[in-house]
C-alpha cells in the first residue's frame, strides 16, 4: 500500500487533523483519533467497535512501524508534526476513525430507564466518569451541549475505551435541560452538597442522575442526593459518580 507523506504544517489535511483535537472539529468532520497501544489493541480485537467506527487511516511518525492488523491507508509525517497530534504522548501509531454523529436526545424520545446526565466540560473528568458509568452497569449517557466531546484524546484515554462502548446521546444545553425538568418522563436527581444521604437512598428504577462540575445545579424541583464526607466539602465529579453508581449497583442486585 502506498504511503502518503505530509511535510508541512500548512498542508490542508494536516490542518484538518489539528482541528480534531477540538470538540468542534470532531463534530464537524465526524472523525477522531484513537491513540494508545492498549486501547488500539482492544479496538482491533473487537468486531463490534470496528463495525461502529471505520478506520480510515493510520497516522505515523516517519520511521515508525505501521500496524499490520489493519489495511487502512498510511500517512507519515516528521516527528514535530506527529507530536502535535499525539497530544497524550503515546509515541505510537494513531488511528483515524470515522463515526456517525452522536444521536440527538429529545424529551419526547427518552432512551432508557436510568440516564446519566453529564454537563462536564473537562475532557479528563468526562472520560473518567464514563469509565465509572460502564464499570457500574450504566449504558445510557446524555451529554449536554457544554460537555467536552467524548472522543477527544484525553476523554478516550481517561475512559479507557468506555466512551466507545456506551450509548451516548447529545442533549440541549444545561440551561435548556433545566427548563424541560417538569416534562421529563422520569424523576430528576442531582448530586449536591445537601440532600438525601447516599446511605438512605432508595434508587428508583427510572431516573435521570445529573452530575456537574459546579457546586450544586440550579434545578427547581430536582431531588438532591449527597455523599457524606469527612474533612472535605465535596468530591470531584468522577469520584462522586463512582461512589454513587457503585452504591446503586450494590443495592439494585
Closest to 70 measured CA to CA, from 50, 85, 52:
50
User: What confidence tens digit (pLDDT) does each residue in 158-199 have?
Assistant: 999 999 999 999 999 988 887 888 888 888 898 888 889 999
Closest to 35 measured CA to CA, from 43, 27, 25:
43
How far, in whole angstroms, is CA 109 from its chain's centroid? 22
> For the domain 3-98, what is the CATH code?
3.30.1330.30
CATH classification of 103-251, choosing from 2.60.40.290, 3.40.1280.10, 2.70.180.20, 3.40.50.1860? 3.40.1280.10
| List of residues 6+ apart from 92 with CB closer than 8 A | 35, 36, 37, 40, 64
Cell of 87: 497530544
Distance CA 250, CA 60 (A): 44
What is the structure's pLDDT at 59? 97
Structural domain boundaries in the chain: 3-98, 103-251
pTM beyond 0.75: the answer is yes
Residue 181, sorted as left (phi over 0), alpha (psi -120 to 50) or beta, turns out to be alpha
For every residue of 197-220, DSSP letters joined together read EGGG----SSEEEE--SSSS---S
Distance CA 3, CA 190 (A): 51
What is the structure's pLDDT at 216? 54
What is the structure's pLDDT at 18? 98
What is the structure's pLDDT at 230? 87
What is the structure's pLDDT at 120? 94
pLDDT above 70 covers a percentage of the chain that reads 96
The DSSP code for 65 is: P
Residues of the chain with pLDDT under 50: none
Amino acid at each position: 500500500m502506498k504511503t502518503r507523506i505530509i511535510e508541512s504544517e500548512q498542508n490542508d489535511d494536516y490542518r484538518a487533523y489539528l482541528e480534531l483535537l477540538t470538540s468542534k472539529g470532531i463534530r464537524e468532520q465526524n472523525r477522531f483519533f484513537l491513540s494508545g497501544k492498549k486501547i488500539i489493541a482492544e479496538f482491533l480485537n473487537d468486531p463490534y467497535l470496528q463495525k461502529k467506527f471505520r478506520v480510515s487511516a493510520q497516522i505515523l511518525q516517519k520511521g515508525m512501524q505501521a500496524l499490520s492488523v489493519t489495511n487502512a491507508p498510511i500517512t507519515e509525517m516528521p516527528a514535530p508534526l506527529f507530536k502535535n497530534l499525539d497530544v497524550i504522548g503515546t509515541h505510537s501509531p494513531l488511528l483515524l476513525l470515522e463515526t456517525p454523529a452522536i444521536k440527538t436526545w429529545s424529551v419526547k424520545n427518552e432512551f432508557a430507564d436510568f440516564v446519566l446526565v453529564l454537563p462536564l466540560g473537562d475532557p479528563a473528568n468526562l472520560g473518567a466518569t464514563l469509565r465509572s458509568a460502564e464499570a457500574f452497569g450504566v449504558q445510557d449517557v446524555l451529554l449536554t451541549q457544554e460537555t467536552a466531546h467524548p472522543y477527544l484524546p484525553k476523554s478516550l484515554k481517561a475512559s479507557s475505551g468506555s466512551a466507545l462502548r456506551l450509548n451516548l446521546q447529545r442533549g440541549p444545553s444545561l440551561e435548556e435541560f433545566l427548563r424541560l425538568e417538569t416534562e421529563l418522563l422520569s424523576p430528576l436527581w442531582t448530586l449536591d452538597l445537601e440532600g438525601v444521604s447516599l446511605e438512605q437512598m432508595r434508587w428508583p428504577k427510572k431516573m435521570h442522575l445529573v452530575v456537574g462540575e459546579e457546586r450544586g445545579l440550579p434545578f427547581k424541583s430536582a431531588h438532591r442526593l449527597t455523599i457524606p464526607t469527612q474533612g472535605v466539602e465535596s468530591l470531584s465529579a468522577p469520584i462522586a459518580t463512582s461512589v454513587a453508581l457503585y452504591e446503586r449497583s450494590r443495592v439494585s442486585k
